[in-house]
Structure 1
């Protein structure tokens, strides 16, 4: 059976601006770190894969000295403490319901589950945070069907392909039978480097990024009775009737993946 693998932040829910950013800022305040990121600041920081890595990016030698972090061990310990607190704050925001699922997520997960597809999340965020977002987005029953690959399970984070390669290996799925939903250029590059076809659902921080190599770029997956999917890039001319459906994904799987030559479908399936 095919596999459907989601990124978390910006894909399952619009978590960056309304979850991670305020959680980072609350954490900095809690630890008396004299940093508060604006939305504009965070639009730059979000390009760094991983929360601990984003936190580490603020620690200039001068700031580390000001905070009494005299060596690498002290810095590492501080970042672990900060990140633990940040995850707690973030989970609270998720559970408060301030970040609803993005359009089409629960619908397409339900379709994939009914069809027997393998479901997974591959994210650089901490696993407790990913599971909280996933459960809030699709409900406990569907969330229980997911394999979750998150946080520090691989040493190199996106745009490195490591987390997707790990997911494929653990799931026992070949790249030819898997499709990814991402929202960022870093995530797309990670998936493409793993040989995976990728649908991009752009978010507020990523709409202007380069999505060369994507199989389809849309504003969201869309819902029949709600927000419609705006098609931004459609290199295969796949039919997207206002929503991305499981049939859409099956059509995309018929085309060669990033590591394959040619552009024609790989099966006899008729592609609109």
Structure 2
């Protein structure tokens, strides 16, 4: 029977709904600053997420819908770069000022881990500055054992490299960890590293094939706040809309025995 010794989190979409409440909002603030009279709403941004990369999304919008004013083709590349640079600055500002709400149950389960002496880590391929701002500003009450982000690895998820580095950094075995993910690529990365995976869905990943996750819920849930819904797994867990760390450690210790 493997004892659970660590919980490890992806960042975007797991700790914070960064696409909806962070990047999208930062893009809209940037457009307004630059004098453009349009915004990306939640549904349209979901469509844009099918285009990989922030600069590429802006270029796609420019070429399909326009910016509401003429953009000289020779100046397009420089404008896109300026917009994206400012958008990143605003995104970091949103994090540092605490404007991005944590997803339900995140801080609670981290505090439960601290109380039990479990290691806590973040393994994300998101921007390193953003990841550190989330870990050390928004979640400054939490003691992280490692935060691995940005270009710390060469291969992005679904490659398991970032999770394998997490195991090495934390001196952990795969079966000793519970990973919290939200996407098909993230689940594939954690599973390829041999880890247990709890999936929390969100607006932008709920239509993906998340079936490789061991337990799938809409969110971790809070006793006095938003409750989650169990979609898959968790057999034997007395589930009432909140996943507790004690339940998860017992569950995964049991299935690994």
Residue 7 of structure 2 contacts residue 120 of structure 2 at CA under 8 Å; is this kept in 1?
yes
Give the equivalent residue in structure 2 for 1:55: 55
The Cα of 1:180 is off from its aligned counterpart by 0.6
**5+ residue gaps in structure 2?**
64-71
Give the equivalent residue in structure 1 for 2:7: 4
Give the equivalent residue in structure 2 for 1:133: 134
**How many equivalent pairs are there?**
246
TM-score normalized by the length of structure 2:
0.80
The Cα of 1:59 is off from its aligned counterpart by 5.1
Counterpart secondary structure, 2:141:
helix
TM-score normalized by the length of structure 1:
0.76
C-alpha distance in structure 2 between counterparts of 1:173 and 1:46, whole Å: 34
Counterpart secondary structure, 1:141:
coil
Greater shift, 90-99 or 35-44, is seen at: 35-44
Residue 13 of structure 1 contacts residue 137 of structure 1 at CA under 8 Å; is this kept in 2?
no
**5+ residue gaps in structure 1?**
256-264, 268-272
Which one has more relative contact order, counting CA pairs under 8 Å at least 6 apart? 2
* Correspondence 1:1-272 to 2 at 5 A: 2-27=5-30, 37-46=40-49, 53-56=53-56, 66-68=73-75, 84-138=85-139, 140-142=140-142, 144-234=143-233, 236-254=235-253, 265-267=255-257
C-alpha distance in structure 2 between counterparts of 1:40 and 1:247, whole Å: 37
Give the equivalent residue in structure 1 for 2:66: none
Residue 197 of structure 1 contacts residue 252 of structure 1 at CA under 8 Å; is this kept in 2?
no
In structure 2, the CA distance between the partners of 1:159 and 1:33, relative to structure 1 (3 Å rule), is farther
Residue 33 of structure 1 contacts residue 67 of structure 1 at CA under 8 Å; is this kept in 2?
no
The Cα of 1:28 is off from its aligned counterpart by 6.0
Residue 158 of structure 1 contacts residue 186 of structure 1 at CA under 8 Å; is this kept in 2?
yes
Residue 145 of structure 2 contacts residue 170 of structure 2 at CA under 8 Å; is this kept in 1?
no
Cα RMSD after superposing both structures: 3.1
In structure 2, the CA distance between the partners of 1:170 and 1:84, relative to structure 1 (3 Å rule), is farther
Counterpart secondary structure, 1:180:
strand
